Each structure stands twice: as structure tokens, then as C-alpha cells.
Amino acid sequence: MRTSLMLRVRRRDDGHITAFVTVFALAIVSFAGLVLDGGLALAAKTRALGEAQEAARAGAQSIDLAAYRRNGTVRLLPKQAQSRARQYLDATEDSGQVSVAGNTVAVSVTARQDTQLLGLLGLHTLTVTSTGRAHPVHGIEAPEQ
């Protein structure tokens, strides 16, 4: 009698633990994926920001030397500035846009980071974007405000 009661109780619970373990394991993988791949995305964002700022600084070095020597005017040569920034950007593995407006070089970098764990859930790539700006200055005596 006791054995048949145990079999009936056991039959009613068949599969309940399996569903719980499956949902719990999926939640653990999702959380671990957010932590790991979120950290990788943050590192990619930092890398993209550094690349954008350095490309903008490279472009901002293209000043009109004739005007500077003549009367101390610091101004960019737009085509050369864009070319230098693009040259720096092409040396990286990321894509981006370069624009020159007045004396400012602006570079926007788009970086892609492959996921490690979130790929198991269907998210294979994270995309981040950063922008850097630079302009030439004549002598630096204090930080810009």
C-alpha cells in the first residue's frame, strides 16, 4: 500500500524539477552573459572613444603653416585634416566618419564587439559608437574650460 502511494506521488512530480532547472539555468546564462558581454561592450566603447579622439588629434595637426608663420593665425587645412584623421582611422579595425568644420575635426567611430555568452541567446554582436573632437591651439597655458 505504501509503495503504490509513493509511486502515485512520484508520478505527479515527474518533470517539474526539469522545468525549474531549465529556467534557472537560462537565467544564470543570461545574467552571466550580461556581465561578461556588458564588460566587453564597455571596453569596446572605451577603445572606440580613444580611437575617435586620437584620429581627431591627428587631423588637428594639419595647420596652415604659411598663415601661422605670416601672422600667427592658427587654422586648419580642411582637406589635409580630413585626410590625416581618415588615415589614422583606417589603421584601426573600426569604421567611422570624419568631418572638418572651421577649426574643429570631429570623428565618429563605430566599433563592433562579438559576444561570448549572449550568442547562445541569439545576440551575436554588440555595436558601440563614440565621438571625438579636436582643434589646433597656439600654446597651452591652462586647461580649456
Residue 15 corresponds to which cell in the numbers above?
A: 518533470
CA–CA separation, 8 and 10 (whole Å): 5
Only one residue has cell 588629434, namely 57
Query: 1-43: per-residue pLDDT in tens?
Result: 556 655 555 555 556 677 788 888 888 888 888 889 889 999 9
Whole-structure pTM over 0.85, yes or no?
A: no
In the chain, which ranges are E strands?
A: 95-101, 104-114, 125-134
Distance CA 106, CA 117 (A): 34
Residue 114, all three cell numbers: 562579438
Which residues lie below 8 Å from residue 29, measured CB to CB, with a gap of 6+? Answer: 117, 120, 121
Give CA–CA dist 130/125, Å, rounded: 17
Beta carbons within 8 Å of 57's beta carbon, 6+ residues apart? 132, 134
**What residue spans define the domains of the chain?**
2-134
Q: pLDDT by residue for the chain (145 residues), tens digit each?
A: 556 655 555 555 556 677 788 888 888 888 888 889 889 999 999 999 999 999 999 999 999 888 888 988 888 999 999 999 999 999 998 999 999 998 999 999 999 999 888 887 788 999 999 999 999 887 766 666 6
In what side-by-side order are the strands of the sheet with 95-101? 95-101, 104-114, 125-134
